[in-house]
């Protein structure tokens, strides 16, 4: 019996459009980036024919929302990719070329394969993809223990079709390495997004729950295609209103859309919510009335959202209230909330982004100093959410010393997908290389090989709750991320959250083929651009371990500083440029923050002769005339790094221009325009940095560095985005 797929009402037109454009051979009227990596246009290369001959029918028994979602994805996707109509069936009558998807409980064909042991090894979210013979028929099987695993397997299979040669002997076993794989959305209730560079919030809070944007389904599809299984809906700088009945109903409406795709919702509570919502006299976590309030509020949430994931908390940081407001500890606050959600299997993610404006302190050392004494004192369902670096998502930082230093506490990385310090949505900065560098960092916590990956995936200390979070770069711009190539960072985060051992090159290759082109020469060129891009931005923004050199909107340069409420928000606090040199001394002669790292890393960073060049000015205050490994002075090396970054942007423009005719005109033009802005910004950063630092170094620019065309005063007079304005006071 052939079935007409039962699609959710807001998916019918989308799937039909994909199928129409693919099967009829008519191209979509615009390549505006909306489809992300889920572009199911007909494959034209030699591999397509082999896939075409191996898949004729899709058999997906079951009528749950998740099984319908699988059917809704696979039928139009395979019809489009293979350029032929793919039939859909719910019975177990198999023919050669059948793709069977499901679980042993939904499919008798899958049950007949006796896969219990193999499925047990991949767990609830894993899957198997196999070429099998059933009743003498050659079929392909996507099998899982749960429907969600089957959904992930379906998306993995589509990725294979899009990027890999067909094989008649598939034998794939996959499971995620992290139990929780989340996107953190810093979305405000008024629709704005803190550090968002792609438009307004996707959630459209003002329309919920009565009107639900169909785009929410496509967000859930995109997340599920990468195995992302959680979304924190609101900003870490939380508004207490997010926990009021009005907004909980809105969150429940979002959860209803996400549920078939396995994306659970989480909320950020404002720690003072008991006071602000219901007028309690205190929010002291050890006050029984406060604990009772949080238990009642959590009960209210779970009645509306039965699969609610739990809380993400920012407390006693940058003005946010927290347990220390009441003389309590971070463990007191986290454990009080953990008790409220534990009854439902929920978790609390407690952010380690904690620092105080203490005179003479080192912001990079404060989170460790504050939290290390509480190792082993957090509840079993608390996970400490730690930024990849000890300051704040800088273009390059050493890994956070908390990783590997709290063996009795569950820790999870927080990385930033949105490019707060890397050119916003105007620059190419492929962050898989940054995250690969971070995950591969050796903490030496239990000797060589104690990488950050082994710390956070549970292998080093045996933590049972494993997780990773990424601060999302999505908004309601038509292309989702503001820059077409920034989609690669959403994709890369999801792929690394599933498998933190994937190489940046492998991820870039997959994304490029799925999103832009299958032309092998062009794929190689785009992959090379992506892999080089983040290092280029580091070179022209914050080279040699410098950090926090930006102006107030965190976009353009401002190494001279600007009015701030506290010294550790000013660039001069970090670079410490003076006539005798530049850099922050974190060795024993300075703040001794280097002591937070394990040996031999501690000694390697502390010794000027062995500290890597890329971390040099992070850990050392270095004379301008210091002789670098290159044989150049520090000043000359700094100048050349800035120039190298600028030169890359010019070269990138030429290389992208050469792809005209390969990449569709709409997206090619859009990226080309962004590259013009990036090149302008790179020159702005170089001129600002070198002209300002030259006032201390008193050294001439090397011959192979372009001379600035503006004076330092003229550069300072530019506005926050590089445009001329009246001079700043």
- Residues forming the active site: 318, 392, 420
Residues β-bridged to residue 128:
143, 173
Closest by CA to 182, choosing from 382, 467, 380, is 467
Strands (E), 260-372: 264-266, 310-313, 347-351
Q: Report the C-alpha gap between 163 and 158 in whole angstroms.
A: 9
- In order, the DSSP letters of 91-140 are S----TTEEEEE-TTT-HHHHTT--HHHHHHHTTT-EEEEEEEETTEEEE
The token duo for 546 is: 């410098």
Q: How far is CA 620 from CA 420, 498, 545, 592, in A?
A: 25, 37, 9, 11
Indicate the SS3 state at residue 87. strand
Q: Is-contact 633 624, C-beta < 8 A?
A: yes
The token duo for 374 is: 């509480």
Burial (CB < 10 A; 0-12, 13-18, 19+), residue 721, is middle
The token duo for 671 is: 């990226």
Q: Alpha-carbon dihedral of residues 380, 453, 126, 184, nearest 10 degrees?
A: 70
> Can you state the angle between helices 245-258 and 288-304, rounded to 10 degrees?
40
Indicate the SS3 state at residue 415. strand
Q: Alpha-carbon dihedral of residues 564, 567, 569, 575, nearest 10 degrees?
A: 120
Q: Report the C-alpha gap between 5 and 226 in whole angstroms.
A: 23
């Amino acid at each position: 019996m052939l079935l007409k797929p039962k699609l959710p009402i807001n998916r019918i037109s989308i799937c039909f459009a994909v199928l129409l454009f693919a099967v009829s051979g008519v191209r979509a009227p615009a390549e505006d980036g909306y489809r992300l990596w889920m572009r199911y246009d007909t494959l034209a290369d030699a591999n397509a024919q082999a896939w075409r001959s191996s898949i004729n029918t899709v058999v997906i028994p079951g009528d749950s929302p998740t099984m319908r979602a699988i059917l809704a994805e696979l039928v139009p996707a395979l019809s489009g990719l293979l350029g032929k109509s793919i039939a859909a069936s719910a019975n177990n009558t198999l023919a050669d070329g059948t793709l069977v998807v499901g679980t042993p409980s939904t499919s008798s064909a899958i049950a007949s394969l006796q896969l219990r042991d193999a499925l047990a090894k991949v767990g609830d979210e894993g899957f198997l993809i196999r070429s099998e013979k059933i009743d003498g028929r050659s079929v392909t099987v996507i099998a899982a223990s749960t429907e969600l695993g089957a959904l992930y397997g379906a998306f993995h299979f589509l990725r294979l079709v899009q990027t890999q040669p067909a094989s008649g002997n598939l034998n794939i076993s996959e499971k995620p390495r992290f139990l929780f794989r989340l996107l953190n959305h810093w979305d405000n209730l008024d629709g704005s997004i803190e550090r968002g560079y792609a438009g307004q919030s996707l959630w459209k809070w003002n329309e919920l729950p009565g009107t639900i944007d169909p785009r929410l389904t496509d967000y859930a599809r995109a997340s599920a295609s990468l195995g992302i299984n959680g979304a924190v809906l609101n900003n870490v700088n939380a508004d207490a209103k997010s926990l009021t009945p009005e907004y909980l109903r809105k969150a429940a409406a979002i959860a209803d859309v996400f549920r078939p795709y396995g994306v659970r919702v989480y909320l950020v509570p404002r720690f003072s919510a008991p006071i602000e919502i219901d007028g309690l006299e205190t929010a002291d976590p050890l006050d029984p009335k406060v604990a009772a309030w949080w238990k009642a509020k959590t009960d209210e949430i779970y009645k509306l959202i039965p699969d609610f994931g739990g809380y993400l908390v920012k407390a006693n940081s940058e003005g946010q209230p927290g347990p220390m407001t009441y003389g309590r500890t971070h463990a007191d606050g986290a454990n009080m909330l953990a008790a409220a959600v534990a009854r439902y299997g929920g978790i609390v993610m407690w952010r380690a982004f904690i620092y105080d404006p203490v005179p003479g302190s080192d912001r990079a050392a404060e989170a460790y100093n504050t939290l290390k004494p509480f190792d082993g004192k957090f509840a079993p369902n608390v996970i400490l959410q730690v930024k990849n670096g000890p300051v704040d998502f800088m273009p390059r930082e050493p890994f956070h010393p908390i990783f590997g230093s709290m063996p009795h506490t569950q820790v999870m990385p927080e990385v930033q997908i949105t490019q707060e310090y890397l050119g916003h949505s105007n620059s190419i900065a492929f962050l898989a290389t940054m995250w690969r560098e971070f995950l591969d960092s050796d903490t030496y916590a239990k000797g060589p090989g104690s990488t950050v990956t082994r710390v956070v995936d549970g292998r080093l200390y045996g933590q049972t709750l494993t997780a990773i979070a990424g601060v999302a770069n999505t908004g309601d711009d038509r292309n989702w991320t503001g820059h077409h190539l920034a989609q690669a960072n959403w994709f890369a985060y999801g792929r690394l959250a599933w498998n933190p051992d994937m190489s940046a090159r492998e991820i870039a290759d997959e994304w490029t083929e799925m999103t832009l082109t299958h032309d092998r020469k062009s794929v190689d060129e785009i992959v090379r651009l992506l892999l080089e891009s983040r290092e280029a931005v580091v070179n022209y923004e914050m080279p040699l371990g410098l950090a926090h050199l930006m102006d107030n909107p965190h976009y353009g340069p401002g190494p001279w500083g600007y009015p701030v409420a506290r010294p550790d928000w000013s660039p001069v606090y970090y670079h410490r440029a003076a006539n005798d040199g530049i850099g922050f001394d974190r060795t024993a002669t300075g703040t001794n923050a280097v002591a937070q790292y394990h040996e031999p890393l501690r000694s390697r960073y502390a010794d000027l002769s062995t500290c890597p060049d890329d971390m040099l000015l992070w850990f050392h205050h270095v004379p301008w005339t210091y002789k670098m490994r290159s044989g150049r002075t520090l000043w000359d090396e700094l100048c050349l790094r800035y120039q190298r970054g600028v030169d890359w942007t010019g070269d990138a423009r030429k290389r992208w221009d050469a792809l005209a005719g390969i990449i569709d005109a709409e997206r090619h033009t859009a990226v080309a325009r962004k590259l013009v802005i990036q090149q302008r910004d790179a020159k702005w950063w170089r001129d600002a940095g070198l002209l300002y630092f030259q006032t201390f170094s008193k050294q001439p620019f090397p011959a192979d560095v372009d001379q600035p065309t503006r004076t330092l005063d003229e550069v300072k007079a530019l506005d926050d985005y590089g445009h001329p304005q009246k001079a700043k006071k």
